[in-house]
Amino acid sequence: MLLAVDVGNTQTALGLYPGDELSEHWRLATDRSTTADELGVLLSGLLDLDAVDGICLSSTVPVLVREWEAFAARWAQAPLLVVGPGVKTGIPIRYDDPREVGPDRIVNAVAAKARYGAPVVVVDFGTSTNFDVVSPEGEYVGGVLAPGIEISMEALFARAARLVTVDFAPPASVIGKTTVAGLQSGLVYGFAGQVDGIVGTDQRRARRGRAGRRDRWPRGARRAALDRDRAR
């Protein structure tokens, strides 16, 4: 079985693939001080390491790559593929400096192309909100980075003494009748509007001829992005 690992700044997602379909998945908190042995003890309680014959790792936390390499060698005794510069993913990287592109953005683009075809836009709501674009030719052409939902909420509540912490959940209506509903409306509809605004702006630019075909955002991008986020 293939163990797919996505180490993000806040959370780590794990998925087991006995074939082409996902059979099991878990989501853990990312701890930058985690050691290979701690990973071994933790994952031994979640899955049968003897059944793992390969591991694919995408990590935005460089310090943890070495620990996953040690885990793969000592505990899983399985080959490890670390997504990064030089790894062939099937998607050409049309970026000024391909080494700057995070592995999470590359695997998002690969997965979106496989699931939806090209062109496609991925919107990943993580520590940062990432917009990643695959052109009609199936090439990764870049994207947009913006502050994430959780970071924005933490900054707002830390700096505004009279505001209370709220759950990230849609309110009954856009116009809030309470402080809590108003905050929830601003967060939910604010980030939904960000997606519509960024995708819509580039679509209009493409129609006016200000961007080449490779820069065009496909129609239905927001729906595809929300479907992906809902599946997580």
pLDDT tens digit string along 80-95? 999 998 899 999 999 9
Chain mean pLDDT for the chain: 88
Question: Residue 100: its pLDDT value, please?
Answer: 94
Q: Give the position of tokens 């116009």.
A: 175
Secondary-structure breakdown of the chain: helix, strand, coil percentages, each rounded to the nearest 5: 40, 20, 35
| Residues 186-219: tens digit of each pLDDT | 999 999 999 999 888 766 765 665 444 444 445 5
Same structural domain, 193 and 227 = yes
Tell me whether residue 89 is in a domain.
Answer: no
202 is catalytic: no
Residue 93 in any domain: the answer is no
Look-up: residue for tokens 């006016």? 208
Domain count, the chain: 2
Does residue 47 contact residue 41 with C-beta atoms inside 8 Å? no
Q: Identify whether residues 20 and 102 lie together within a single domain.
A: no
- Closest alpha carbon to 79 in 88, 87, 89, 69: 69
Distance in Å from the first CA to the final CA of the chain: 21
Is residue 87 a part of any domain in this protein? no
pLDDT at site 223: 52
Half-sphere exposure of 192 (CA within 13 A, CB side): 13
User: pTM for the complete prediction?
Assistant: 0.78
Domain containing 51: what range? 2-82
Q: What is the CATH number of the domain that holds 8?
A: 3.30.420.40
Which DSSP state fits 222?
A: H
Among the residue ranges 19-28, 97-106, 223-232, the one predicted with the least confidence is 223-232
pLDDT at 206: 58
Q: Which of 6, 104, 124, 202 is catalytic?
A: 104
